Amino acid sequence: AQKITQTQPGMFVQEKEAVTLDCTYDTSDPSYGLFWYKQPSSGEMIFLIYQGSYDQQNATEGRYSLNFQKARKSANLVISASQLGDSAMYFCAMREGFVSGGYNKLIFGAGTRLAVHP
Contact residues: another protein, CB under 8 A: 4, 33, 35, 37, 42-47, 50, 52, 91, 95, 98-111
Q: Closer to another protein by CB, 86 or 96: give it.
A: 96
* Coil, helix or strand at residue 100: strand
Nearer to another protein, 19 or 95 (CB): 95
Other Cβ atoms closer than 10 A to 65: 19
Closer of 13 and 93 to another protein (Cβ): 93
Report the nearest approach of another protein to the CB of residue 66 (Å): 12
In angstroms, give the least distance from the CB of 109 to another protein.
6
What does DSSP assign to residue 14?
A: E
